[in-house]
Structure 1
Amino acid sequence: EDASLQGQKEHYHRDADKDKCTMPCEMTAKLMRDEKHSLCSNLQHTIVSYTRNTRKLIRDLIDEQQKVSEFLSSQIIELMAKVNTLSSDVQRSNSDIFSVKPMESHGKDCSDIQETLGAVSPKIPSGIYIIQPENTDHLKQVFCEMDYMEVGWTVIQRRTDGLTDFKQMWSQYLDGFGHLPGEHWLGLRQIFNIVNQRNTRFQLHVSLVSQDDTTTYASYDNFWLEDETKFFAIHLGRYAGSAGDAFRGYDQEQNQDTAPFSTSDVDNDGCSPFCTFANKAVESCSVNQNNTGWWFNQCGKANLNGSPLDQDLSTQSHIHWDTWTKNGTLVKIKSVTMKIRRVEIPNLK
């Protein structure tokens, strides 16, 4: 009995201990589950809120970037319009510097006009004059530069701002194109009429200006052209200057003296069937140099009528005078003027 009673007491104590532990453990587990659920719910809510805020921020950034891009595009368009307007204004102002209307004075060429007017006026303005070379039956307007070396120069070519397209065919190079106070080509026929007058000899002067405004020149003391049946082949006398003799180059293959004039549609450049220029095979020097006209000879070191390729407008130096170098590097040329004047022939007095 004592043993049985002792066993009952132990069983009772175990059941009592069990009853005392059951409620707190279940409550603790429930509290832990509730706390876990709350934490998960809060975390999920935080993530959703953060995601929404992030999406809104990205949308706002995209909208802001789009507004900035549209603003910059409008500014660029406006700036380009202003640049075009400014370029036109500059061209007009450059033209206004010189006389736009032809002077009343006539002569055989600008040298003849300067000699005539110099007898009555110490200062003769540069500008557009009317000339009529010997053995011609028509008048022609030309630009006369009267203030260089105090003699009259007839400008036969000028490149300054790129506003005149020198990609022209044979007929345009025959008769001339451009704007006389600005960029222009006088025309092969007119140049021929001037330099082939009787008892005259003409000097050719080439003035070059680099991109950094350095100046240089090349001069030839006897310049004349053959007639149209010989495609106005060029002839040059003795060279003088600081730019180098690019017309004759460094060897006979590069010599453009006596070369006929060529354009993309009238090819006289000597590349038959092709020649090697700048380490590549070339069939037409004119086509290779963007359809411009010049006295090419396989193709040579000079092309003052060169035009930049359409895809290289901002990088390629298009006016070629490849004997003008600095520290072994070709100088990039910004502008050029070709002009001619009469020179005295001692036997004709």
Structure 2
Amino acid sequence: MMHLYAAILIFCHIVFHRGECTLTSDYSMPSAKVSELTNKVLLLNAEVLKKQTDPFLHRPFQTHGYDCTDIKDNFGPNSKAPSGIYIIQPEGTHFPFEAFCDMDYRGGGWTVLQKRIDGTIDFQRTWLDYMDGFGELSGEFWLGLRKTFCVLNQKNTSFMLNIALEAEDGSFAYATYDNFWIEDEKTAFIMHVGRYFGTAGDAIRGNRKEDNQNAMPFSTYDMDNDNCYPSCSFNDTKVTSCSQHRSRSGWWFNKCGSANLNGVHRVTRGVEISGIQWDTWMENNSSIKIKSASMKIKRTHYPFFK
């Protein structure tokens, strides 16, 4: 309604200066003019709403690069790009969008796909939310499957995925995969990871064959692709939807698997189930309780970092 009111004021202001619009207290404007004005206002309002919901907004800004690695590589030999929000436009795409670039972690150049910090953003979201992205790039967010696909599927590029984890006791671990990519929307963004390296364990493949989440499509509570049809057994529990079982979070589930970085933030929500999950990071035969997590990708110009 505010957009509609603003559009009326803007339209009338423009017409007034043309000597064509007069708003009077006796509402003497001809009905034809009222109808014309109403139609134009509705068109303006529709355009405003379209721009608000378009995940790839037309932005009047010059892009900084194809992705965060490209920005780092082209920033200049005598200066360092700071971490922060940049405008990127992956090669072969038509629209730029904002992304958070981590220029400090392990050499910089990382495009951040997901970040969990303090539980301020709800990750119990629909399929459309996970496709388009949500949250605040300066805090907690999910970049969006569509945007992630655009970055990962540039020509003649390959990317590594880094998952950084922090436990409730302040300890840290990470998992890195080379040759990370996802398929397009028609396949529900099937995920592929290559070699694993790290200290948190390979939770994506898990410890058992049936836990392997590699080459699985993405699932949400309203878009179920998790292989639990009509049901499956997980930890001796009958499950019909891994997303529902994991508190309506979105992830690449497989009956249901050992990894899910989008569960309920256990620290701030005060719950003991369905938290941020990376079950191969263990201590005393128990999974670590995770407080924060991030997913970020970087072009692979060189062998696996040590």
TM bucket normalised to smaller: 0.7 to 0.9
Any residues of structure 2 matched to 1:164-183 within 5 Å, and which?
164-183=121-140
Q: Deviations over 1:210-244 (max 9, x none)?
A: 00000000000110001111100000000000100
Q: 2:167 aligns with which of 210, 228, 243?
A: 210
Any residues of structure 2 matched to 1:71-220 within 5 Å, and which?
106-121=64-79, 123-220=80-177
> Matched residues in 1 for 2:123 and 2:179: separation?
26
One-letter amino acid of the counterpart of residue 106, structure 1: H
CA RMSD of aligned residues (A): 2.1
One-letter amino acid of the counterpart of residue 136, structure 1: T
Give aligned pairs, total: 244
**Structure 2 counterpart SS, 1:212:** coil
Q: Deviations over 1:289-316 (max 9, x none)?
A: 111100000000000001268xx73433
Any residues of structure 2 matched to 1:252-267 within 5 Å, and which?
252-267=209-224
Q: 1:104 to 1:215 in 2, by over 3 A?
A: farther
**Structure 1 counterpart SS, 2:103:** strand
Computing the radius of gyration from Cα coordinates, the structure with the larger value is 1
Tell me the equivalent position of 1:287: 244
Tell me the equivalent position of 1:86: none
> Matched residues in 2 for 1:202 and 1:283: separation?
33
Contact 1:264-1:284 within 8 A present in 2 as well: yes
One-letter amino acid of the counterpart of residue 115, structure 1: D
Q: Deviations over 1:130-151 (max 9, x none)?
A: 0000111111100000011223
How many Å apart are 1:252 and its aligned residue? 1.6
Tell me the equivalent position of 1:300: 257
Contact 2:125-2:248 within 8 A present in 1 as well: yes
> Matched residues in 1 for 2:116 and 2:272: separation?
17
Q: 1:232 to 1:317 in 2, by over 3 A?
A: closer
**Structure 2 counterpart SS, 1:192:** helix
One-letter amino acid of the counterpart of residue 191, structure 1: T
Tell me the equivalent position of 1:341: 298
**Structure 2 counterpart SS, 1:207:** strand
**Structure 2 counterpart SS, 1:135:** coil
How many Å apart are 1:118 and its aligned residue? 3.5
Contact 1:163-1:183 within 8 A present in 2 as well: yes
Any residues of structure 2 matched to 1:21-36 within 5 Å, and which?
none
How many Å apart are 1:105 and its aligned residue? 5.8
Contact 2:211-2:255 within 8 A present in 1 as well: yes
| Greater helix content | 1
Tell me the equivalent position of 2:29: none
Q: 1:156 to 1:142 in 2, by over 3 A?
A: same
**Structure 2 counterpart SS, 1:218:** strand
**Structure 2 counterpart SS, 1:154:** strand
Tell me the equivalent position of 2:201: 244
Contact 1:200-1:345 within 8 A present in 2 as well: no
Contact 1:201-1:345 within 8 A present in 2 as well: no
**Matched-pair identity in %:** 53
> Matched residues in 1 for 2:76 and 2:251: separation?
35
> Matched residues in 2 for 1:323 and 1:140: separation?
34
> Matched residues in 2 for 1:155 and 1:143: separation?
6
**Structure 1 counterpart SS, 2:151:** helix
Tell me the equivalent position of 1:321: 278
> Matched residues in 2 for 1:281 and 1:313: separation?
25
TM-score, L = length of structure 1: 0.67
> Matched residues in 2 for 1:195 and 1:204: separation?
10
> Matched residues in 2 for 1:259 and 1:110: separation?
26
